[in-house]
Structure 1
Amino acid sequence: MTRREFIATTTLATGFTLAVQPIAESIIATDPTGLIAGAVNIPVKDGEIPAYRAQPATGKNFPIVLVIQEIFGVHQHIQDACRRFAKLGYVAIAPELFARQGNVSQLDTIDEIRQVVAKVPDAQVLSDLDATVNWAVKSSNGNSDKLAITGFCWGGRITWLYSAHNPQVKAGVAWYGRLVGNTSELTPKHPVDVASKLKVPVLGLYGGQDTGIPLDTVEQMREQLKASRSQSEILVYPDAPHAFFADYRPSYREVEAKDGWKRLQAWFKQHGV
């Protein structure tokens, strides 16, 4: 297959990624009644990538929120998050940002998934998100003057980077995204490297018991943000582990997840989205 053919035939997960089984009983399922919700294709530089889109069934000029996946892809949890946003009046779009590198929803282990994700260039991701915003405006009644972004884990890191990349973003919320790391051709910068020049207000939500994101790196990020004019903030939930918003996993913490969701809505409203 050519790359174009590969991208066009890649599909979204219909349930949960195999590597995250079994699914916890705490899973939230948002009713799609009153919504337009489902898979769409986003034209990008080298073909198309699949995405999940949810928006109110009636109306126009919707604020746009980009919903950025965990390493597990655009599976049911991320799709449900899009529906939650749509219930609030947004057009919410989660593009499958690993589409060229592989279908992570069918892989059995996190190690296999990490091998796929490690091949995804940041430049490709940022370009695909630009294309997603353009599609939302042209094909989904989206208002580019009211653009927000949120992401989880891998997507939390991308939330910081895209907010630095695209000054059109009005507000971002990064859920436990990695802040530091080794630089490479595929990942030339990390959030801590762009923080001091950030202009977009980003709210970072982190867990004090997150073994993968040490609190000293969170403090490094806070220090760098002090030099910016972005009004960005970081909140640490002392007792929360990594992935505390992921209601389908044992890491879910209902109190912190609900508080973070309320703070996200207030943050978006505060900054005009």
Structure 2
Amino acid sequence: MKNLQYILIVFLMLFSSKEILAQKDSIALQRQARKLLRQGNELYSKKQFTDASVAYQKSLSNNSNYDKASYNLGNAFYQNKNFKEAVPQYELTAKTAKDKFTKAEAFHNIGNAMMEQKQYQPAVDAYKNSLRNNPNDDETRYNLAVAQKLLEKENQDNKDDKNKDNKDNKDKKDKDKKDKDDKNKDKDKDKKDGDDKDKKDDKDKDGKGDKDQKKNQDPKKDEKKEQQKPKPQQGKMSPQQIKQLLESLNNEEKKTQKKMNAKKAKGKKVKQEKDW
């Protein structure tokens, strides 16, 4: 029984020692975090915003829930125009801060960072959250009015652009439809012209046929006209003329044979040497 009591006492002493050491470590980290915060503030006051942001980040590495360090880190980012990086720091402060005044300031700065990025809807939301925590802040109320006006203008511009795009699309469709209709009209006109031409050709053919038919309707008249035409008389050739004709034909035949032989010679391919 005594041994058991002794073991329990030793265990309690060890546990208490560890808890005390943990508390000491936590206190030491918090002190270091505050020290780094003060260093960051001095650098910030000298407008050395990059060095200040490094000090604030070191402070947060010792105490991740140190809302003052995260808020000041957001300010350092903001002063360096790193608006996108500043927003998460302000959001962390708004989440961890215990008093409404600090929350209101964090939301106010979120709104300012969003305005710098021309993100007007998130800016409006941030300013509204700031006023919920501090309704008496006239500066936040003024910034909210400006953000709402810019958001309204942005929405109107987007609407106008959309209407313009719709109008352009409608005009294009109307133009395409007109071009298509004009093309169809041209086709119909060409078809009509073709039909009229075919009709004219048929009419001309019919007219010619009528003439031929009328011509063939009176064969006796044609026969009579034929009889009236003077018939060619069959001529008589002398032996001398016949001899000259035969010689002429013979000469022509020789010329023709000579030309044929020349064409055959020209048609033969010349054998060429290979170049490999």
Q: Which has the higher contact order (CA 8 A, sep 6+)?
A: 1
- Structure 2-normalised TM-score? 0.24
Write 1 or 2 for the structure with the bigger share of helix: 2
- Structure 1-normalised TM-score? 0.24
Write 1 or 2 for the structure with the bigger share of strand: 1
